[in-house]
Amino acid sequence: MDVLKFYYQPVLSILLPALVCLALVRIYFYRGVRYRYPLSNALAAQGALSSHKRSVVFFALRFLLLTIFILLIAKPQLIDPRSKITVEGIDIVLVIDVSGSMSHPHHAHDNRSKIVTAQQEAIRFVDKRVNDAIGLVLFGNVALSRCPITADKLLLKSIIGDIEIGSIDPQGTVLSSGIITAANRLKYSKSTSKIMVVLTDGQPSQNDADHVVAIAIAKELGIKIYTVGIGDDQQQQVFWYYTAPPLNTALLESIAHETGGTFFQAKNADDMRSIYDTIDALEKNKIEAPVFGRKQDWFLPLLWSALALIMSEVLLSTFVWFGL
């Protein structure tokens, strides 16, 4: 059954009672100017006078007209609550390394820094996950929850685009602490599917939490972790002034395997795009959700009703009661 709702409910709650109060004051307390003549008293005594209902009819027409105007301001909408479609809803947290090494070029043939590539592909991934709630955790020498799990994709993309190396201490890579921080965000999620996408380019630092604890927390909360390693597991000379840190692929593989996810290695920007596309294709969870777009505005029917009332008063005053 369709439900009638008002987009601006507070407007309706304030103006409609105010109109009713004004109408009651008009009916019970307002007294117009009256002129008394001797002849009218004699005619009234003989029952020759009658009170015309013109003022009552016009009052009713104007009251209805003002009521319709208030309804138009409140924006009435007819909604079908039974309409549902199948959508894919998953709670996701992106966990991104912002240590100092992420500012270095991704590859000898690509001048873009690894963090820039990570930002671009993360934003592209967010654009594709229309029905998912996504959060963001950053980690360097400390881990920071940068954005809670949200469906506001514009806000999230803005935050991802503003990531800068140095926004948190870049002298370290607390990978496991980042995972624990993201798990804390997903702890109260009611989604049946919860995942992390963890992206890093180096070895965890000594002040990092125990990876065994991070894996245990993720498993207890039912979180699947996809790990993405940027670079190579061997120390690599990219330019004469920069040596890329080696990846701890064994650790990243263990984290992914223990939580039911997959480890990926991105040696260049094309690899990273392919990895995000693969994760996007793997993580699909079909659920039934209401379609809030199926609404029918009642603007035109009410507008035509208002015009009809105005024309009614004009016609009555012009052709019916014009001499009264």
DSSP 217-280: HHHHTTEEEEEEEES-SS-EEEETTEEEPPP-HHHHHHHHHHTT--EEEESSHHHHHHHHHHHH
**Segments forming the whole domain that contains residue 18:** 3-82+294-320
| Pair (100, 244) in one structural domain | yes
Positive or negative: CA dihedral 267, 159, 293, 80? positive
3-state secondary structure of 166: coil
Residue 126 in this model has a pLDDT that exceeds 70: yes
| Pair (16, 113) in one structural domain | no
Pairing mode, strands 194-200 and 223-230? parallel
| Pair (299, 273) in one structural domain | no
CATH number of the domain to which 267 belongs: 3.40.50.410
| Pair (139, 270) in one structural domain | yes
| Pair (102, 168) in one structural domain | yes
pLDDT tens by residue, 255-275:
999 999 999 988 887 888 898
| Pair (278, 300) in one structural domain | no
Q: How many domains does the chain have?
A: 2
Name the range with the highest mean pLDDT among 71-80, 83-92, 215-224: 215-224
Q: How far apart are CA 178 and CA 208, in angstroms?
A: 9
| Pair (78, 103) in one structural domain | no
| Pair (241, 208) in one structural domain | yes
Closest CA to 115 of 102, 96, 124, 106: 102
Q: What token pair was written down for 318? A: 């012009």
Q: At what angle do helices 114-128 and 269-282 cross, to 10 degrees?
A: 30
% of the chain surpassing 70 pLDDT: 78
Closest CA to 200 of 216, 177, 219, 217: 177
Burial class of 12 by CB neighbour count within 10 A (0 to 12, 13 to 18, 19+): middle
Separation of CA 74 from chain center: 23
Closest CA to 218 of 198, 202, 247: 198
| Pair (132, 211) in one structural domain | yes
- Biggest CA-to-CA distance, the chain: 119
| Pair (136, 217) in one structural domain | yes
pLDDT tens by residue, 13-62:
888 888 888 888 888 877 665 656 565 565 556 555 555 577 788 888 88
Find out whether 95 and 102 touch, Cβ atoms under 8 Å.
Answer: no
pLDDT of residue 287: 47
Find out whether 2 and 78 touch, Cβ atoms under 8 Å.
Answer: yes
| Pair (285, 298) in one structural domain | no
| Pair (187, 278) in one structural domain | yes
Q: How far apart are CA 104 and CA 235, in angstroms?
A: 14
Q: What token pair was written down for 9? A: 């409910």
